[in-house]
Structure 1
Amino acid sequence: MCRVVDLKQAVLAKNDEAARNLRAELTARGTTVVNLLSSPGSGKTALLERELLLARERGVAVAALTADLATENDAVRLARSGVPVKQVLTDGLCHLEAGMLSRHLDGWMPDGTRLLFVENVGNLVCPASYDLGESLRVVLASVTEGEDKPLKYPTAFGLAHLVIVTKTDIAKAVEFDEDAFRAHVQQVNPGVEVVLTSARADEGVGFLLDRALAIGAGATVHAPVMAGRDGGHFDHHHGAHDHDHDHGADHSHDHDHGHVHPRLRADAAATQPR
């Protein structure tokens, strides 16, 4: 009699374990990981550059890892802050994974790093399903992207600990409806905080840094609505807005990408206040 094996769940569990182990390891080292997700062109690199500059001015030991399909443009920009920066080229893969992140941190991240900002690949679909061992998951959306963005990408916004709106200096010009955006965010993730920022106008700069530091100090984090009921773990499944891939038992290749869909862990250990 043949036994049906759910390969998707098998690779999911593999990444879930890697994320759990990485979170525990980095927490023990005193490092808080912030995972930044957004569409391409949202302005997350510009905001992150300002946050890194501010961290350096305050004497906070911080580092940043940025991922793209190609080019090192973002790393060059972030390196202007004077903090340790590493570029990861995914060579076509649309997201980072816990195992990838662990390998790239090995031997690179300086001892004593308090905050590690991970700028994920510009994409609100694939990265939304992957736990990187982060303590804070932030989803960013610019005022130019439309107020219905949260409804179009419910997994990304539904699993966010914090939502940041960028480029608010041009909100009036593009007729951004803030109330509608906030309502749509609350529809998919009730209670999550929405913060307005503009790197160009210096609005909201420093909020992300302060929030990440608070997490490192042991504050609590918003519990996303998509969190499952099994002991506080995320346990979401892919719906109409998510992507499908043909998964094998070990989908890794030359760049150590294990194309998997983990359940995100909502660990209470390193979290932040609302």
Structure 2
Amino acid sequence: MDIILKFLKKAYDSYGKLPMRIRFLIVVSFFMILFLVSVSLKQYQYKEEKIYGNPNHVQNNSKNGSNPSVIEEENTIPEPKEVKVVIDPGHGGEDLGATKGDLCEKRLNLDISKRTGKLLENLGINVIYTREKDVAVGLDERVNIANNLDATLFISVHNNYMPNDAGYKGTETLYCPPVTTEENKMDGMKLATIVQRKLIGNLKTVDNGIIYRPNLVVLRKTNMPAVIAEIAYISNSSDRAKLVDEDFRENAAEALSEAVMEALEYMKAEKNENGVWMIMD
């Protein structure tokens, strides 16, 4: 031990007499060597695990009789989850929405929403409303209801108003990306396209198309495919006459329920043995 200590002291004294530049290079070289050794050990360990398997990884090969040293890929099967559709009647309480005379948007939205929900419930769909009465519900609260439920789809029902152009009319559906190209994966744009097509087909209103609106809370913050269906324009006389017609509102509800079912079909939703609509997560 004394010999080692004497050697280290002598080496340290010699190191201290070296020029600063040389001492710096020695320190850098020392740490580079440590780094290279560390990388080499990790690579060696990785090769060992690839060839012989990870000794900390417990495998059960008794069924197939394979060598326990062979690493098996784990096949993860997604768990099915219940379909939950959140229907969001826009506005409510002190928030009237658009108004024209006695016609009030919040009431129209709730009426069409409840009609839509009833049609879906008759098909066995689990429907959740953000409001079922004339009460105020905050935008973030609406989002939280859907997100906390891990909902499958979010359909917000509204009607529109153009203050400076009473001639403007028609139907439009608002959405917000992200957009996915994965097969069987629904997104806001795909859902908006289905909803708009169904609404125009049923209502025969002017087709204003789908519109990208990333600034709207209920579209931007929801974790599931979400749309806002703007059924018609309260500010336009012909659209307004349609909205006061109960058959028109029922047709709007039918269009929305048909759109939901088409979206779920695209997502490969199926009823299980208990009659519950399920979808692979």
**Shorter-chain-normalised TM-score: which range?**
0.3 to 0.5
Q: TM-score, normalised by structure 2?
A: 0.32
- Which has the higher relative contact order, 1 or 2, with Cα contacts under 8 A spaced 6 or more apart? 1
Point out the structure with max Rg over C-alpha.
2
From the two aligned structures, give the one with the greater helix fraction. 2
Q: TM-score, normalised by structure 1?
A: 0.32
